[in-house]
């Protein structure tokens, strides 16, 4: 059974710092991995989607990497800003595309 773990559960950093969020999964037979952002009481916003054949994806100050063999993904946020404060979730899709398993998220707080 696929399990997705995100460490740390919470992170506080000063504005301007570069940071890394971690996501690990137990079954490497995945179709893709997505990173989402969730603001308090809101829905999820897709940030980056990495197919299983890809190593990384970039969007603006965000870079996500995928190492399928070791069951790990990282989300790198450059030059963090207070507006980046949110909960970040990763989710893996199984190869059949029938299940999406989420981690419990990392809650990020960026102080000005």
Extract the tokens encoding 28: 């490497």
Residue-level length of the chain = 112
89 or 110: whose CB is closer to another protein? Answer: 89
Q: Does 60 bind another protein (CB under 8 A)?
A: no
> Of 76, 95, 94, 72, which is closest to residue 25 (Cα–Cα)?
72
37 or 80: whose CB is closer to another protein? Answer: 37
User: Which of 13, 22, 24, 31 is close enough to bind another protein by CB under 8 A?
Assistant: 31
Segment contacting another protein by CB under 8 A, of 7-15, 40-48, 65-73, 78-86: 40-48
> Of 29, 74, 79, 17, which is closest to residue 48 (Cα–Cα)?
74
In the bound complex, what is the minimum distance in angstroms from residue 104's beta carbon to another protein? 4
Core vs surface per residue 51-79: b (16+ CB within 10 A) or e: eeeeeebeeeebbbbbebeebebbbebee
Q: Does 93 bind another protein (CB under 8 A)?
A: yes
> Of 85, 93, 101, which is closest to residue 5 (Cα–Cα)?
101
69 or 96: whose CB is closer to another protein? Answer: 96
Q: Which residues bind another protein (CB under 8 A)?
A: 31-32, 34, 36, 41-46, 49, 89, 91, 93-94, 96-105
């Amino acid at each position: 059974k696929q399990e997705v773990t995100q460490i740390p559960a919470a992170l506080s950093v000063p504005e301007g710092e570069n940071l890394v969020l971690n996501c690990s999964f137990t079954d490497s037979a995945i179709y893709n991995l997505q990173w989402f952002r969730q603001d308090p009481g809101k829905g999820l916003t897709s940030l980056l989607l990495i197919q299983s054949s890809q190593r990384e994806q970039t969007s603006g100050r965000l870079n996500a990497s995928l190492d399928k063999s070791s069951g790990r993904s990282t989300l790198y946020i450059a030059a963090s800003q207070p507006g980046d404060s949110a909960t970040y979730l990763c989710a893996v899709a199984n190869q059949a595309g029938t299940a999406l398993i989420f981690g419990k998220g990392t809650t990020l707080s960026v102080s000005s």
